[in-house]
Amino acid sequence: MSSTQHIDPSEDDTFPQLTGTWSLVLGTLAVTAIGCPLLPDAVPNQFRYLPICVTLPLGLWAVLSGSIALRRMRGDQAAGRHRARAGITLGAVAVVTAAAAIVFACWALRHI
């Protein structure tokens, strides 16, 4: 191979296309963290209530990473956008749920 020929790793088909996977994983973790308080009472409290603290950041990261993944796939007709869109959707559900819980808690504390 001469020095004028360069190998572009984005053109090589041996690399797997993992675009949108992180968004899907983060969105799934964020939605799962919402349900942790519903675990049985036999589960220790740190496993039931601590994941609620990371719901909002995980949801925001899922939306952000999914948006970046969709932007990188722009113009590529063969790219599968399903994982990125699912991650954005799950992250948005987690963000809206966390924001609603915060608003409800502030409202309830004001009326004590």
Per-residue pLDDT of 43-73, as tens digits, reads: 998 888 888 899 999 999 999 999 999 898 8
Domain spans of the chain, in order of start:
21-110
C-alpha 93/C-alpha 6 separation (Å) is 44
What is the pLDDT at residue 110? Answer: 95
DSSP for 1-57, written as a single string? --TT----TTT-TTS---TTHHHHHHHHHHHHHHTGGGS-TTS-HHHHHGGGGGHHH
Q: In terms of pTM, does the model score above 0.85? A: no
